[in-house]
Amino acid sequence: MSTQALSFAGAMAFLKLNKIVDAGASFLATLDPQTATEADIKQAENHLTEVLTKRACARREYDTANDASSRAKQNYESEVAGLKVLMDKAASAQGDEKLALNAKVNAFEAELQAKKGNVQALLATTKSKKDLVDTYDTIVSAAQDKFKTIQAQAQQAIDRLNIAKKQEAIAKDKAEAQRLGRDGSQGSSFGLRALSAMADKSEIATEVENEKAATMAPPASMATADADVAEAIAEANGQKPASEKSEAERLADLSL
């Protein structure tokens, strides 16, 4: 069984154990990248969105529960520490004070026993919510791995198609060249006329591309394309034409 399958199996077992029905997660678990159709992939993308949304909600619920249980645990542990101090004081007290402190120790201990169950329940709820977040993390990670596999296969298919198209084009050009060669020279199936026709075709294609690029290029700014405008801008910025500079200025321009 693959790592993806094992990850999904564990995650789905957790959902089933906790009686959580998630059709999207189930679909992603059974999705086979090797046989998935375009419709399957589209449906899987929708289900992945649903699972990501559920994970985001689960994370928020966990954060809220974790904050509440952490505060309750901290307060409880602080109060237990206070009970220990109270016990020490009661142990060292005498007479009526000792009786009074012991009574307070017993009452406070009973109160803490009741709080203990509540704190444990909060911690258990937090752990359950964290387990759910971890489960959705596993489902999302495994699903993303499947999508990576699908994308890689799609790219391989595109690459194969492009190679096939190039080979088809080469075969057509060769067949055309052979036809032209037979027409121009009975002694050779791939003669001078064929080569010349292929060269003409290539040159025309290059010429068209160059003209297209020139047409699509943005017009040059007069600030750089027109010599008079460029010179006027230079003079406006305090730059003299080379012909008007003194020898000292021209030498200064060459200094490092």
Max Cα distance, the chain (Å): 132
Res 186 pLDDT > 80: no
Q: Which pLDDT band holds residue 187 (cuts at 50, 70, 90)?
A: very low
User: Using one digit for the tens of pLDDT, what is the confidence trace for 103-146?
Assistant: 999 999 999 999 999 999 999 999 999 988 888 888 888 777 77
Q: What is the mean pLDDT of residues 213-225?
A: 59
Res 185 pLDDT > 80: no
Q: Which of 109-118, 185-194, 223-232 shows the lowest per-residue confidence on average (mean pLDDT)? A: 185-194
CATH code of the region 3-167 = 1.10.287.1490
Spatial distance between the Cα atoms of 173 and 165, rounded to a whole number of angstroms:
12
Residue 125, pLDDT score: 94
Res 52 pLDDT > 90: no
User: Using one digit for the tens of pLDDT, what is the confidence trace for 63-81?
Assistant: 999 999 999 999 999 999 9
Res 199 pLDDT > 70: no
Res 188 pLDDT > 50: no
- The full DSSP string for the chain is --HHHHHHHHHHHHHHHTT---HHHHHHHH--TTT--HHHHHHHHHHHHHHHHHHHHHHHHHHHHHHHHHHHHHHHHHHHHHHHHHHHHHHH--HHHHHHHHHHHHHHHHHHHHHHHHHHHHHHHHHHHHHHHHHHHHHHHHHHHHHHHHHHHHHHHHHHHHHHHHHHHHHHHHHHHHHHHHHH-TT-TT-HHHHHHHHHHHHHHHHHHHHHHHHHSPPPPHHHH-HHHHHHHHHHTTPPPGGG--HHHHHHHH--
Residue 244, pLDDT score: 72
Q: Where are the domains of the chain?
A: 3-167
Residue 124, pLDDT score: 94
Res 190 pLDDT > 50: no
